[in-house]
Amino acid sequence: MLTIESAVATHAGRVRSGNEDNYYLFGNYRYDTGIRQRREHKTVLAQQMAAAVYDGMGGEEAGEVASLLAAKECMPCIAEEMKEAICRQIHSANEAVCREMKQRGGGRMGTTIAALYIDADMAVCCNVGDSRCYFMRSGRLRQLSVDDSEARAMVEMGVLSPEKARASKSWHKLTQHLGVHPDEFVIEPHISEPIPLKDGDLFLLCSDGLSDMVMDDEIARIAGAGKTAMQTADALVEAALEQGGRDNVTAMVLQIKENGAGQGASGMMAYLKKVPAAIWILLFFLAAAAVIIA
């Protein structure tokens, strides 16, 4: 059995008055959007579960509402139906945000999402917008999510280099996010291929308040430092604040570990396999003799 040690830290940053970010961690989310800072951690057995980070947009509390509405639509799903269930949840969250916009008189609001869905020993990443999902295995960090920004599109077309894209005005111009009416645009979430989980794997979900402030090599250094999930999440948020904290920042860390009971069973099986065949034969005859005598 695998266990997941998880933690999330969210902070309004050093510039913004409110925190429009939200998250979903195994059923918990930031229900009180007036709180500027929140931390929580949880260790569970790997089963059907979901985790996500949301970056709300709109200002004047609209961003907080959009990210909260989306978080309420998140839920676990089984592996066999994961892609279809993820798409349904994404569209359900988008509809919830769109309904709220209509009730508020048509004003715009929206949110990004970066989510991880797990069923036993398999995980799938999903995102819409520029919130990110990173995956670390054997010390190597790679981005699973796809940034929905004009800058990324220009990099892919060869118009901008990755370095110039980060400094351009198109870096934060999103090509899709939740909070778009279906008659305007059909949202297409990015869904990764299934990832078989292994002991030592680490996932990081974060808003752009982290990825804009802290470069990937520094994120990799912090994530690979061997700390607890909570210590890692705190260190990532602190790194973003030290670099200016110009935006709300949320970091969620999920560490995959082999359950101690599972390790004991595996060790016992490995030991038994080393027992010579002659010993097994002798034990068999001794057991048979004991049965006959009884």
Q: Where are the domains of the chain?
A: 2-258
CA 141, CA 253: separation in Å to the nearest integer?
13
CA 253, CA 9: separation in Å to the nearest integer?
9
The helix/strand/coil state of 276 is coil
Q: 237 Cβ partners below 8 Å, 6+ apart?
A: 9, 10, 11, 210, 249, 250, 251
CATH of domain 2-258: 3.60.40.10
How far, in Å, are 155, 205, 293 from residue 150 at the CA level? Answer: 9, 21, 83
How would you write the pLDDT of the chain (294 residues) with one tens digit per residue?
Answer: 899 999 999 999 999 989 999 999 999 999 998 889 999 999 999 999 999 999 999 876 799 999 999 999 999 999 999 999 999 999 999 999 999 999 998 889 999 999 999 999 999 999 999 999 999 999 999 999 999 998 888 878 887 777 777 777 777 899 999 999 999 999 999 999 999 999 999 999 999 999 999 999 999 999 999 999 999 999 999 999 999 999 999 999 999 999 864 444 444 444 444 456 666 666 666 666 665 665
Burial of 292 (0-12, 13-18, 19+ CB in 10 A): exposed
Tokens encoding 220: 């990799």
The single-letter code of the amino acid at 33 is T
CA 259, CA 288: separation in Å to the nearest integer?
36
The pTM of the full predicted model, rounded to 2 decimals, is 0.86
Count other C-beta atoms under 10 Å from residue 230's C-beta.
18
